[in-house]
Structure 1
Amino acid sequence: MIDYLATFIMFFAVIDPIGTVPVFIAVTSHFNKSARNKIALISTLVAAMILLFFIVAGEYILIAMSIPLPAFQIAGGIVLFLFALTMIFGESKPDEEMKLVQSHHETAIFPLAVPSIASPGAMLAAVLLTENNRYSICEQALTAGVMLSVLLVVFILMLLASHIIRLIGASGASVVSRVMGLILASVATSNALEGIKVYFGL
Structure 2
Amino acid sequence: MSWPFAFQDLLREFITLFVVIDPVGTIPVFLFATAAVPQRLHRSFALRAVLVSALVLGLFLVLGQIILEGIGLRLGAFQIAGGIILFLFALSMIFGETKAASEIKEAETEDLSGAVFPLAIPSIASPGAILAVVILTDNHSTGIVEQTMTAVVLLFVLVITFLLLLLASKIQKLIGQTGVSVVSRVMGLILATVAVDSVLQGLEQMGVLALSNAPI
Q: Structure 2-normalised TM-score?
A: 0.91
Residue 8 of structure 1 aligns with an amino acid whose one-letter code is F
Partner of 2:64: 58
For structure 1, list consecutive stretches of 5 or more residues without a partner in the other structure.
none
Kindly indicate whether the alpha-carbon contact (under 8 Å) linking 1:26 and 1:101 is maintained by their aligned counterparts in 2. no
State the percentage of identical aligned residues. Answer: 52
Distance 1:172 1:102 in 2: 23
Give 1:200 deviation, angstroms.
2.6
Larger-Rg structure: 2
Query: Out of 182, 193, 196, which is 2:200 matched to?
Result: 193
1:139-178 aligned at under 5 Å gives the runs 139-178=146-185
Residue type at the aligned position of 1:107: G
Runs of 4+ off more than 3 Å: none
Once residues 198 and 24 of structure 1 are traced to their aligned partners in structure 2, the CA distance between those partners, rounded to angstroms, is 39
Which secondary structure does the structure 2 equivalent of 1:103 belong to? coil
What code does the residue aligned with 1:120 have?
Answer: P
Q: Is the 8 A contact 1:48 1:151 kept in 2?
A: yes
| 2:144 corresponding residue in structure 1 | 137
Aligned with residue 122 of structure 1, among 129, 137, 143: 129
> 1:47 and 1:180 mapped to 2: Cα distance?
20
- Give secondary structure in 1 for the equivalent of 2:37: coil
Task: Name structure 2 gaps, 5 residues minimum.
Answer: 211-216
Superposition RMSD in Å: 1.0
Distance in 2, Cα, partners of 1:186 & 1:90: 18
How far does the alpha carbon of each residue in 1:102-130 deviate from its partner, in whole angstroms, 9 at most, with x for none?
22352110000000000000000000001
Q: 1:14 Cα shift?
A: 0.2
Q: Distance in 1 between matches of 2:200 and 2:180?
A: 30
Structure 2 residue aligned with 1:98: 104
Residues 16-95 of structure 1 mapped to structure 2, 5 A cutoff: 16-95=22-101
Tell whether the 8 Å contact from 1:23 to 1:101 is kept in structure 2 after alignment.
no
Deviation at 1:42, TM superposition (A): 0.4
TM-score relative to the length of structure 1: 0.97
